[in-house]
Amino acid sequence: MIAYPAMFEKAADGGYVVEFIDIPSCVTEGDTLEEAKAMAKEALSAMLYSLDSRKKNIPDPSNKKKGKGIYYIEPDLRIAFAITLKKERKRMGLSQKEIAQRLNVNWTFYQRIENPRRTNPTLGTIIKLQNVFNRQFISL
């Protein structure tokens, strides 16, 4: 789905400080690398949800960042799924109503799918979405 690069730096106290390269205001920390990764996922998910709910631009993740201390963090699956759908729909220049018509569902049903807090599509709906968008959202 989507993953954002984050820089993990050793802190003076022995823990890790995590900063997201594409979302500089998203920062967290953890006592161990594993805890820092878990906290990074939580912080990223909260930040993406916040940006989406306030109708702010969600930056695309850069995928060319490599090096020591850089890890790619995936947000919560629901948030990633809803945001990916919204970005793909906008990239295609379509409205939610147009996608709903292509899926043969009502607009409010599709609107829920794009809402990170409410999305919960069935496998059948995911397959229809993959056909409408002509791309794979999850591996089946």
In terms of Cβ atoms closer than 10 Å to its own Cβ (0-12, 13-18, 19+), residue 28 is: buried
Stronger pLDDT, 25 or 139, i.e. the higher one: 25
A 10 A CB-CB count for 52 gives 19
**61 neighbors 2 (Cβ within 8 angstroms):** yes
Nearest to 49 by CA among 31, 69, 70, 23: 23
136 has a pLDDT exceeding 90: no
From CA 43, how far away is CA 49, in angstroms rounded? 10
Residues 6+ apart with CB under 8 A from 21: 4, 5, 6, 7, 62, 65, 70
Mean pLDDT of the chain: 92
From CA 76, how far away is CA 26, in angstroms rounded? 15
User: pLDDT (tens digit, 9 = 90+) per residue, 52-110?
Assistant: 999 999 999 987 778 889 999 999 999 999 999 999 999 999 999 999 999 999 999 99
**126 neighbors 138 (Cβ within 8 angstroms):** yes
